[in-house]
Amino acid sequence: MEEELQDAVEAVAVGQNMRPGLPGVVATAARGVLLRRGFGKSQVNVRQEGAGLAVSIQLIDGRATLVRSIHLSVEGL
C-alpha cells in the first residue's frame, strides 16, 4: 500500500509550486487510497520538509487505537 500511496501523492505534488492548498491536496490524495483500501479512519498530516513534503499517515481502528504508521517523502516540487 505504501507504493500506491507514494504514487498518489507524487501524482498531485511533483512539479507543483508550493502553495497554501497543496498540503490539503496531498492529504486528500492519500485519503483516497486509504478509503479504497478500506481504511475509513486515518489521520494524514502533511508538512514541508526541505524542498519537499513529509506525509505522515496514521491508521486508526474502531476503538481509536493506532494500528499502523506510514511515513512518505515527496520531493521534486
Partner 1 sequence: MAAWLGKTEPFKFSWDDLVRQGSTFWDGVRNAQARNNLQAMAVGDEFFLYHSNEGLAVVGLARVVGAARRDPSADEGDDRWVGVDLAPVAALPRPVTLKEIKAHPTLMGMAFVRQGRLSVSPVTDAERETLLALGGLSLPAARP
Positions touching partner 1 (CB under 8 A) are 17-25, 46-48
Q: How far is the CB of 48 from partner 1 (least distance, A)?
A: 6
Q: How many whole angstroms separate alpha carbon 13 and alpha carbon 46? A: 12
Identity of the residue, 47 or 63, whose beta carbon is nearer to partner 1 in the bound complex? 47
Q: How far is the CB of 53 from partner 1 (least distance, A)?
A: 9
Q: How far is the CB of 64 from partner 1 (least distance, A)?
A: 23
How wide is the angle at C-alpha 67 spanned by C-alphas 9 and 44, nearest 5°?
A: 30
User: Helix axis angle, 22-36 relative to 2-13, nearest 10°?
Assistant: 150
